[in-house]
A and B are shown apart, each in its own frame.
Chain A
């Protein structure tokens, strides 16, 4: 049964792709270039009826009408831009999957770059802040090391110089608690 379902699915997928191909070839183009332009345009134009389909993928009646219009206008020698403008004048920017550049669409065009810049700036700030604090710790610890060295060195010096007397002080100190 499972085996049968698998093959039924394969056959279904194969057949449905044939159906999609058959639908496109309804139009008879005068030359191959026009057909290329048509196929490109209907990929980029959105079907107003079906929200998330382009004209190429949609079988809605309106999509077919609009494809017919695109076909006719290409054959009439209109440019791609003229055809898109014709449709935009009737259906708005919605018809095109390429949003135009204008104030209301700035956020979708520049938004990602703005966020990228903010993120990049934040990372830059964090990294430099971290480096600065790391450097400060290093210099601070260096200073502590130097102080310690100086202290040790002076200790050594005073120890060697004051060796005789140090014994005295030692004894006096030792005597101290005894008193």
Chain B
């Protein structure tokens, strides 16, 4: 073996020895990228889809029913319940947000007893335009809700744009939810009613 051959052979060996190191770095990158993610925050499967069909009673006036057609985006749908501690935490901010007139908020009263839910809104105030009384949690399942509080952003054509899991604060509204709503305003102008959207959706 000449000197030159020996050198190339040594180089080849060096590359071979470096392979595990590269594999290690690749694995590290892969695992590190998942490190900051909160596994309890799942991405909604309904993004880009219209608000699912439902028919429920209104919480405040149980003599009237409510369907998806009564909801008019752009708006927020806030999933809440009187049994949910975090809902008490976010409630004052929802009041403030509703009073500011920046956005319409609909309530989905999730797996709750009517008395307890009425007590919640009567005592603490009602930030919601309409409240769906989802006593059995079926509307929640249609929306892929797995806890409360959750907040959905719907655009002007009643399509679901985003789902936020957790307490809505000033920061969450300003940095996450509001940009999602602004982003979808051009498409909101195209459609005027929820009926059109379902027709367009079926056309696809």
Taking beta carbons and an 8 Å cutoff, which residues of A are in contact with B? 48-49, 51, 61-62, 65-66, 69, 88-92, 94, 107
Contact = CB atoms under 8 A, between A and B. Distances in A.
B163 to A, nearest CB: 11
Contacts of A89: 45
A64 B144 CA distance: 15
A124 to B, nearest CB: 13
Interface in B122-145: 136-138, 140-144
A92 B141 contact: no
B45 A92 contact: yes
A49 B45 contact: no
Given A49-B147, A91-B146, A65 B141 contact: yes
Contacts of A92: 42-43, 45, 144
Nearest to A66: B141
B187 interface: no
A62 B45 contact: no
A62 B40 contact: no
A107 B23 CA distance: 14
A61 B144 CA distance: 14
Nearest to A125: B16
Contacts of A94: 42
Contacts, number: 39
Interface secondary structure of A, over-half rule: helix
Contact of B136 (A48, A65, A91, A107): A65
A18 to B, nearest CB: 27
A48 B111 contact: no
A38 to B, nearest CB: 17
B201 to A, nearest CB: 14
A66 B142 CA distance: 11
Given A49-B147, A92-B144, 12 more contacts: A49-B146, A51-B39, A51-B40, A61-B137, A62-B137, A65-B111, A65-B136, A65-B138, A88-B45, A90-B46, A91-B144, A94-B42
Nearest to B52: A90
Contacts of A88: 45
**Which residue of B43, B46, B144 has the most chain A CB atoms within 10 A of its CB atom?**
B144
A85 to B, nearest CB: 11
Contacts of B144: 48, 90-92
Contacts of A62: 137, 140, 146-147
Interface in B1-60: 30, 39-40, 42-43, 45-46
A64 to B, nearest CB: 9
B174 to A, nearest CB: 28
A92 B42 CA distance: 9
Contacts of A90: 45-46, 141-144
A65 B146 CA distance: 11
Contact of A48 (B142, B143, B146): B146
Contact of B42 (A48, A61, A69): A48
Contacts of B45: 88-92
A107 B27 CA distance: 11
B130 to A, nearest CB: 22
Interface string B96-138: 0000000000000001000000000000000000000000111
A69 B141 contact: yes
B121 to A, nearest CB: 21
Contacts of A49: 146-147
Contacts of B137: 61-62, 65
